[in-house]
Amino acid sequence: MINQSIRISLLFVSATILCNCSGSKQVNKAAEKMTLRGTFKDDFLIGTALNTRQIEQKDPKAAALIPQQFDAATPENIMKAEEIHPQWGTYNFDLADKLVAYAAANNIRVNAHTLIWHSQLPAYVRRLQSADSVRQFFTEHINTLASHYDGKVYSWDVVNEALNEDGTLRKSIFLQKLGDNYIVEAFRLAQQAAPNTQLYYNDYNIEQPRKRAGAVAVVQKIQEAGVRIDGIGIQGHWRAGHVPFDEIEKSIEAFGALGIKVMFTELDLSVLPNPLNGNTADVSQTAAYNAQYNPFVAGLPDSIQQQLASDYEQLFKLFLKHKDKIGRVTFWGVNDGQSWLNDWPVRGRTNYPLLFDRQFAPKLAYYKVIESKTKS
Ligand code: XIL
């Protein structure tokens, strides 16, 4: 059997050969024996989103790379209500149980995603009319899942994306039928059912001032009700060249001051034009394909590769500066070919938002992330 350190070296030898990114020859000397999880082991967890094939280890390259590089994992889709609770009272625990076993075998912590979200709800929930039936779904869903996975997953995104851009509460089915205390109630139920699990609120754009103020108010309301919330997840779907570093830093400070951990939960930096207004991560907003929105099918120009790498480096320097407040940094996918950003908000594009390329080779951005720690 090939031992772990030889396997890691082999990975990087092959990565060096595969990586045609400019500048990598100079920087990968120091990085070649490093991994993400090893580099940041004293700072914060390093996570990835996992899709079904990865959880079932059907892709050998992903199966080799994931446990070397990551010590946290979030299921990309399989624990969302439409997948894990497809019919009233019927739960598909199989894949999530596999994820828990896979994670335990590889010393990876699972962040379960997500209990209460207006999106990817099963059709029967969207058809519910009465407040009583929505409340029954809400209560049973949280109780069943939170208790089944208590002690097996490390954390839950209890509520996802409850806020509008102006910081007010989104008019989801939960707000409309249960009233504006529903977030506190979700955390109260989760706390009872999962006393051994970290409980988080998760959202996109909550680094922006108005939405950040809304998120602070949500956390304070939970705390004032005497209910436990352990952390907040800033999703981190940003664009290379447009990362809002100052607002991110203000948000780490504002959320940290509430006495909870800050997580970056779905980090990716799109390099493609965004045809939508504003920098939303609202999965329901999409745009039609147009070749001008897909300029890098043949490869990423070096200038953009450099921009991506420098943005990631600056982000990780910021994370390290505030490591006392940060619990985890999770990338939304393992490699560029597997990123949701190839199909959202426009289907069928070629995006390059992550640290590993389509062949699983580390990109320049990977080495710059490692260097943010080793050269500091
Ligand atoms: C995305 C997945 O990556 C896609 O595969 C799926 O089709 C839609 O959802 N915010 C979230 C994530 O909280 O759950 C979303 O994941 C991306 C935006």
Is 234 domain-assigned? yes
pLDDT at 33: 58
Domain housing 338: 35-274+289-374
Distance (angstroms) between ligand 1 centre and the Cα of 338 equals 12
117 closest CA partner among 182, 155, 72, 162: 162
Distance (angstroms) between ligand 1 centre and the Cα of 43 equals 27
The answer to whether the CB of 78 is under 6 A from ligand 1 is: no
The answer to whether the CB of 77 is under 6 A from ligand 1 is: yes
Kindly give the number of the ligand 1 atom that is closest to the alpha carbon of 113: 14
Distance (angstroms) between ligand 1 centre and the Cα of 77 equals 7
Could you give the CA distance from residue 62 to residue 113 in angstroms, rounded to a whole number? 21
Domain count, the chain: 1
**Which amino acids are annotated catalytic?**
266
Taking CA atoms only, the protein residue closest to ligand 1 atom 12 is 76
pLDDT at 30: 52
Tokens 């940041």 correspond to: 40
Q: Please, what is the angle between helix 302-321 and helix 364-374, to 10°?
A: 30
Could you give the CA distance from residue 140 to residue 88 in angstroms, rounded to a whole number? 10
Is 30 domain-assigned? no
Is 335 domain-assigned? yes
Is 367 domain-assigned? yes
Distance (angstroms) between ligand 1 centre and the Cα of 308 equals 22
Query: For residue 202, what is the domain's CATH number?
Result: 3.20.20.80
Could you give the CA distance from residue 75 to residue 153 in angstroms, rounded to a whole number? 11
The answer to whether the CB of 52 is under 6 A from ligand 1 is: no
Could you give the CA distance from residue 104 to residue 210 in angstroms, rounded to a whole number? 39
pLDDT at 281: 81
3-state secondary structure 130-150: CHHHHHHHHHHHHHHHHHHCE
Is 280 domain-assigned? no
- What type of residue is 31? A
Q: Is 195 helix (H, G, I), strand (E, B) or coil?
A: coil
Is 208 domain-assigned? yes
What pLDDT digit, counting tens, does each position of 64-98 carry? 999 999 999 999 999 999 999 999 999 999 999 99
Residues ≥6 apart with Cβ < 8 Å to 76 = 49, 50, 51, 113, 332, 333, 340
Is 89 domain-assigned? yes
Is 24 domain-assigned? no
The answer to whether the CB of 283 is under 6 A from ligand 1 is: yes
The answer to whether the CB of 280 is under 6 A from ligand 1 is: no
Could you give the CA distance from residue 106 to residue 93 in angstroms, rounded to a whole number? 20
Enumerate residue ranges in the chain where pLDDT < 70: 1-33, 278
